[in-house]
Amino acid sequence: MIDPAPINEAIRRASPALDAALSDVGRRSIFPPDIPFQAAQARGKRYNATIGQITDGGGQAEVLPALSQTLALPSSEDHNRAMLYSPVEGMPELRQLWREWQRRLGPDKSSTLPTVTAGLTHGLSLVADLFGGPGRAVAIPSPFWGNYRQTFGLRTGARVVSAPAYRGAGYNCEAIAEALAGEPAGEPAVAILNFPSNPGGYSATVDERRRLRTSLLTVADQRPLVVVCDDAYAGLVYEPEVPAESMFWELNGAHENLIPVKVDGGTKEFCFFGGRVGFVTFPFEPESEVAEALESKVKCLVRAAMGSPVATTQMMLVQALRDNDIADQVETVRELLEKRYRVLKAALGQVDRTLLRPLPFNSGCFALIELARELGVDADNVRRQLLDEQDTGVIAIGERFLRLAFCSVRASDLDEIVARLGRGIGELARRGTAQRHRATSRKRE
């Protein structure tokens, strides 16, 4: 067993709050000097008999033609890298290119080389392992993406605490502070920011981000606070008052007790849903002691769960990031989604507010609909009615919310989807009213 004390001490020296926020698993984690470690040290040697991957004996992959012909990569070296094991932390070129992509909007703040994960959910689960644990409070504005409960609550025993993400007609900038208000002072906590959000399709405006930042600094006055910036939908913004860059940069260095962690990836940003390439980034200089300590811990957890991330899809993402036109290609997709957003926003602006209430949305891939409470209509019943009677699928969240994914629907179909949604809710409301009348009549008889 390797003693993690030296790297824990490096973390403590750099950030006592980060040290206090580590879970028991996070504290114990350290990348062991076993096969991947020793194989990395032997990389480039004339004779390398370290790692258990089948090669031609000279370092080149021994590839089946049936597999080889499916890849179109520009060089034999790229092809070889795609077919062999990736380093546990991810391909060096990809990590550097992604760091440049993250920083393209010019933030002048420290950030580590991103560590590669098997998609964003894997990245979130690694962060949960590092900073979650039994009883740890994890504050998430609600309604929220349900898988947060699995990654933090189910897997690590953390407690999800919440407050409404929306208040009146706007975003609740104090939701995280409200959720953590009852927690003992000094006790470390985790908070999750998801902009643009899933399921809400909302990103805080410039003024709201200022207020949100102030609120988080107030929380950090009372406790070590790890703020997980879930940037899955980074860049997909459609209104001028919504910043495109992550709040990771605004929170970076803002308070000694506040540690932002950025989780992002190629899934949504590059429309690479099947690629499963994500990243975890910390707010420290790449070659600092604390960055190396955190990388060791993340690599230990990656190695324990999956060995190493997939090389083939990493290589595909490298190819995309090398392309001089990649920013323009990403912008083309953003413009496509903005057109759908505008159509949906107009359609929802015409709905009957006695049946449903669209919550504010301005970015991302989704719109969230709240059912009028007085109707007594359950969201899952609406979902089933749409499936069974109107050939339409939406997602039910809790008892009163429905999520529309406009990212997966043609702009020309959105008016009809909203119309069907209104008809479905109206029909269920009428059935409910009729049932209540019949029940009242029977009682009178």
Burial 130-139 (b: 16+ CB within 10 A, else e): bbbbeebbbb
Domains of the chain: 5-31+88-322 (3.40.640.10), 328-444 (3.90.1150.10)
Burial 158-195 (b: 16+ CB within 10 A, else e): bebbbbebbeeeebbbbbbbbbbeebeeeebbbbbbbb
**Segment 241-252, tens digit of pLDDT:** 999 999 999 999
* Of the candidate ranges 48-57, 169-178, 358-367, the one whose mean pLDDT is the lowest: 48-57
Q: Is the model's pLDDT at 438 over the cut of 80? A: no
Distance from C-alpha of 122 to C-alpha of 98, rounded to nearest angstrom: 17
Residues 352-370 pLDDT 10s: 999 999 999 999 999 999 9
Q: Binning pLDDT at 50, 70 and 90, where does residue 444 land?
A: low
User: Taking Cα atoms as reference points, which of 305, 311, 236 lies closest to residue 71?
Assistant: 311
E strands, 222-266, are 225-230, 258-265
pLDDT at 98: 98
Q: How far is CA 413 from CA 100, 344, 401, in A?
A: 38, 9, 21
- Tell me if residue 115 falls in helix, strand or coil: strand
pLDDT in the model for residue 202: 98
At residue 91, the pLDDT reads 98
At residue 397, the 3 state secondary structure works out as strand
Confidence of residue 100 (pLDDT cuts 50, 70, 90): very high
CA–CA separation, 153 vs 160, rounded Å? Answer: 7
Task: Write the pLDDT tens digit of every residue in 398-415.
Answer: 999 999 999 999 999 999
pLDDT of residue 434: 52
Tell me the one-letter amino acid at 192.
Answer: I
Q: What is the dihedral of CA 208, 210, 211, 216, to 10 degrees?
A: 120
- pLDDT above 90 covers a percentage of the chain that reads 82
pLDDT, average across residues 419-423: 95
CB-CB contact of 175 with 212 (8 Å)? no
pLDDT at 271: 97
CA atoms within a 13 Å half-sphere pointing along the CA-CB vector of 360:
15
Tens-place pLDDT, residues 249-276: 999 999 999 999 999 999 999 999 999 9
State pTM to two decimals: 0.94
